[in-house]
């Protein structure tokens, strides 16, 4: 059922697409353009062109620290979520686990609860339990919110794997362990990559969990950005935002280079 | 390329899913080098039976013996079985040669020997030129031939075929059937085929096993199954059949005369007792003659309802006077309509056939 778009239909589709794109991109373009503004205050439209704000931000030790905190937090949380989520998704899909549906629902539940409330609950729990290591607390919190993304994407790709491929490998003499590594994993790598990208971005961008669990020494980038903004609103905020956007774009490009974005997103 | 052929024995093989019985105490022996087709409608248990032989499904009860050795508790990857799947199941991320080499690598066969055996196997299915391509670049028929090479290269004790040609179009399927049959004969490998296509079963198999509801209905050569169906189900499943119910009207020197409610009469082998008898008649056995011809000793009057010209045959759909349907295939020998004796819808005709065409079947 693939027809060709009529000329007027094409105008409509591309026109609507352009409008939606503008709606999504316009605020980001404002921020990015401001980060190059020569004016001392963040006002739109930007005046002049300078890279001074980027220089200042990158030279700022507090920013450097927050950036490193956020990137390492996102990498660690993603790695841990993958280590937990991959076997969980596999077991729930391939083995007869009593109460599998309930367990899957529990694994995905952090996505359903308001993250702000989850963060508050975590804070209270950790205070009660005497856990005062902010790095560790942030790590635990971020694993909690990134795990559902990995479980979900890996589950979705496992469901798409043709089971007869695994069965064929078994009949050819591959042990279940080798079937997993030689046949199953190559089929779900795009899903794993997409899940890791989501997870990284969710953690890197997270505000509501970090808001509760950060302390004075361990400040992730979104928290740092927010507190800087309440002090002063100059184009350096825009420059930080642009750097955050850039990190996301680089992650997407990296994924594209690694496995191909279209494959990773299942399109 | 195949190891010494071995026989396969199933003994009381049973599979329950909860309260559902998918396979109900199947006992069957398949001789070394024989090709047997499990044939039946969907849900009859044929696929589950095959998957239990492969080791992909664990039986609830019963035993599987390959070459006299019980393998019921042997995990699938240690059974040394070659299996073909309906969707070919080639590994999409591996080249054709890597696909074929997979089973040899699992067995730790050396590099040089693997390369040689892969080349031999691909030559066997005439796909040597495709070694470096990915499966997606091949047509369905080529992919299934690669799957066949991949299954045979490990020198399996058994070849299991799960609707292997079901996804191919008709012409290709027929040529693949012949190819598969020749290869299986040449290698002398014991094979089990699952299919719901009766022509495929008849083309490929030495013997056909008709299954229904998890049980065996009849086991026999294609000819036995077709000409001597055990019951109504088998007669109706393999080919087309008319079913006529007659009551005993009298004994004759050469058999028993049955009377049909619609007015006809049939001469069948001697029947004891007075119970109604169910007779199956193949449509191609039936001849048609004008209504004023002398009443046949074995036949019935009927009214033509529909005439369908099908090239080799004309299908004549009729109805007996008691409302029962009757179908005749009339051969069109000279290509004209003379075979169908020019029957038109609404015409009364006499349908007759040789008494040998009467097959008494159990009504089940």
- Using DSSP, state whether A184 is helix, strand or coil: helix
Residue of B nearest to A177 (CA): B77
- Percentage of residues in chain B having pLDDT higher than 90: 68
What is the C-alpha separation between B36 and B206, in angstroms, rounded? 6
Cβ of A174 and B55 within 8 Å? no
Where on the phi/psi map is residue A130: left (φ > 0), alpha (ψ -120 to 50), or beta? left
pLDDT in tens, B3-46: 678 999 999 999 999 889 999 999 999 999 999 999 999 889 99
ipTM for the complex shown:
0.84
Confirm if B8 and B29 have CB atoms less than 8 A apart: yes
Cβ of A173 and B80 within 8 Å? yes
Cβ of B83 and A168 within 8 Å? yes
pLDDT in tens, B110-155: 999 999 999 999 998 889 899 999 999 999 889 999 999 999 999 9
pLDDT in tens, B208-243: 999 999 999 999 999 999 999 999 999 989 889 999
- B46: which 2 tokens? 């044929």
Per-residue pLDDT band for A267 (boundaries 50, 70, 90) equals: very low
Q: Which domains does chain B show, CATH number per domain?
A: 8-236 (3.40.50.300), 241-360 (2.40.50.140)
Higher pLDDT, B194 or A43: B194
What sign has the CA pseudo-torsion B219, B222, B224, B228?
positive
Contacts of A183 in chain B (CB under 8 A): 91
Instruction: Please give the backbone phi and psi of residue B334, each rounded to the nearest 5 degrees, phi first.
Output: -95, 10
What is the C-alpha separation between A142 and A192, in angstroms, rounded? 18
pLDDT at A165 over 50: yes
The residues in A 181-240 lying below 8 A from B, measured between CB atoms, are 182-183, 186-187
Q: Write down the pLDDT at residue A85.
A: 93
Determine which helix (DSSP H) or strand (DSSP E) holds A78, and give its type and residue range. helix A61-94
Q: Is A256 exposed, middle or buried (0-12, 13-18, 19+ CB in 10 A)?
A: middle
pLDDT in tens, B73-85: 999 999 999 999 9
Q: Strand (E) positions, B113-231?
A: 158-162, 190-195, 207-212, 215-220
Contacts of B89 in chain A (CB under 8 A): 162, 164-165, 167-168
Find, among A197, A163, A166, the residue nearest to A181 by Cα: A166
Length of chain A, please? 267
pLDDT in tens, A35-65: 888 877 777 787 788 888 888 888 888 899 9
User: Among A173-177, B48-52, B343-347, which stretch is predicted with the lowest mean pLDDT?
Assistant: B343-347
What is the C-alpha separation between A38 and B303, in angstroms, rounded? 99
pLDDT at A24 over 60: yes
CA distance B192 to chain A (A): 15
Cα-based distances in Å from A76 to A72, A141, A164, A219, A259: 6, 12, 35, 16, 21
pLDDT in tens, A223-246: 998 988 888 778 888 888 899 999
Prediction pTM value: 0.80
Confirm if B46 and B198 have CB atoms less than 8 A apart: no
ω into B338 cis (within 30 of 0): no
pLDDT at B273 over 90: no
CB burial readout A147-164, b (16+ within 10 A) else e? bbbbbbbbbbbbeebbeb
Q: What is the DSSP letter of A182?
A: I
Q: Write down the pLDDT at residue A19.
A: 93
- B238: which 2 tokens? 């393999």
Q: Which domains does chain A show, CATH number per domain?
A: 54-264 (1.10.3720.10)
Determine which helix (DSSP H) or strand (DSSP E) holds B70, and give its type and residue range. strand B69-70
């Amino acid at each position: 059922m693939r027809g060709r778009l009529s000329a007027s239909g094409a105008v409509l589709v591309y026109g609507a697409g352009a409008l939606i794109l503008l709606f999504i991109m316009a605020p980001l373009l404002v921020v990015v353009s401001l980060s190059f503004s020569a004016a001392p205050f963040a006002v739109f439209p930007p005046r002049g062109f300078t890279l001074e704000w980027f220089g200042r931000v990158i030279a700022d030790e507090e920013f450097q620290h927050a950036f490193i905190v956020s990137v390492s937090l996102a990498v660690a949380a993603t790695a841990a979520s993958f280590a937990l989520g991959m076997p969980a998704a596999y077991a729930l899909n391939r083995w007869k686990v009593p109460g599998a549906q309930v367990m899957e629902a529990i694994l995905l539940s952090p996505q359903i609860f308001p993250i702000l409330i989850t963060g508050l609950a975590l804070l209270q729990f950790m205070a009660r339990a005497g856990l005062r290591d902010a790095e560790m607390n942030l790590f635990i919190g971020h694993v909690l919110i990134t795990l559902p993304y990995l479980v979900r994407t890996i589950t979705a790709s496992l469901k798409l794997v043709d089971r007869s491929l695994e069965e064929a490998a078994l009949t050819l003499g591959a042990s279940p362990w080798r079937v997993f590594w030689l046949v199953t994993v190559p089929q779900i790598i795009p899903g794993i990559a997409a899940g890791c990208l989501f997870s990284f971005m969710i953690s890197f961008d997270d505000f509501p969990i970090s808001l509760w669990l950060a302390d004075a020494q361990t400040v992730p980038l979104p928290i740092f950005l927010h507190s800087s903004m309440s002090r002063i609103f100059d184009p350096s905020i825009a420059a930080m935002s642009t750097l955050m956007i850039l990190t996301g774009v680089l992650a997407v490009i990296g994924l594209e280079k690694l496995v191909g974005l279209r494959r990773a997103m299942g399109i | 390329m195949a190891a010494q052929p071995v026989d396969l024995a199933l003994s009381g093989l049973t599979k329950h899913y909860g309260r559902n019985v998918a396979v109900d105490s199947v006992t069957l022996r398949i001789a070394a080098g024989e090709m047997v087709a499990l044939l039946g409608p969907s849900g009859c248990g044929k696929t589950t039976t095959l998957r239990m032989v492969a080791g992909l499904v664990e039986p609830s009860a019963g035993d599987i013996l390959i070459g006299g050795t019980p393998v019921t508790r042997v995990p699938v990857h240690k059974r040394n079985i070659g299996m073909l799947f309906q969707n070919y199941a080639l590994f999409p991320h591996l080249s054709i040669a890597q696909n074929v080499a997979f089973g040899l690598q699992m067995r730790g066969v050396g590099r040089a020997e693997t390369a040689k055996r892969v080349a031999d196997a691909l030559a066997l299915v005439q796909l040597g030129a495709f070694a470096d391509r990915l499966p997606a670049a091949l047509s369905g028929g080529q992919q299934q031939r690669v799957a066949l090479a991949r299954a045979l290269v490990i020198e399996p004790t058994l070849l299991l075929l799960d609707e292997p040609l079901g996804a191919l179009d008709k012409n290709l399927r027929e040529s693949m059937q012949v190819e598969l049959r020749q290869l299986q004969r040449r290698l002398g490998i014991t094979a089990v085929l699952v299919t719901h296509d009766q022509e495929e079963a008849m083309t490929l198999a030495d013997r056909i096993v008709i299954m229904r509801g998890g049980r065996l209905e009849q086991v026999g050569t294609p000819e036995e199954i077709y000409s001597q169906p055990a019951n109504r189900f088998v007669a109706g499943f393999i080919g087309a059949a008319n079913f006529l119910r007659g009551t005993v009207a009298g004994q004759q020197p050469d058999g028993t005369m049955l009377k049909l409610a619609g007015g006809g009469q049939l001469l069948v082998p001697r029947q004891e007792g007075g119970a109604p008898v169910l007779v199956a008649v193949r449509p191609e056995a039936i001849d048609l003659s004008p209504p004023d011809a002398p009443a046949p000793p074995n036949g019935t009057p009927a009214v033509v309802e529909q005439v369908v010209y099908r090239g080799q045959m004309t299908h004549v759909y009729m109805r007996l006077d008691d409302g029962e349907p009757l179908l005749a295939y009339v051969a069109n020998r000279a290509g004209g309509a003379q075979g169908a004796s020019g029957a038109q819808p609404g015409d009364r005709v006499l349908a007759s056939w040789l008494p040998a065409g009467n097959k008494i079947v159990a009504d089940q």
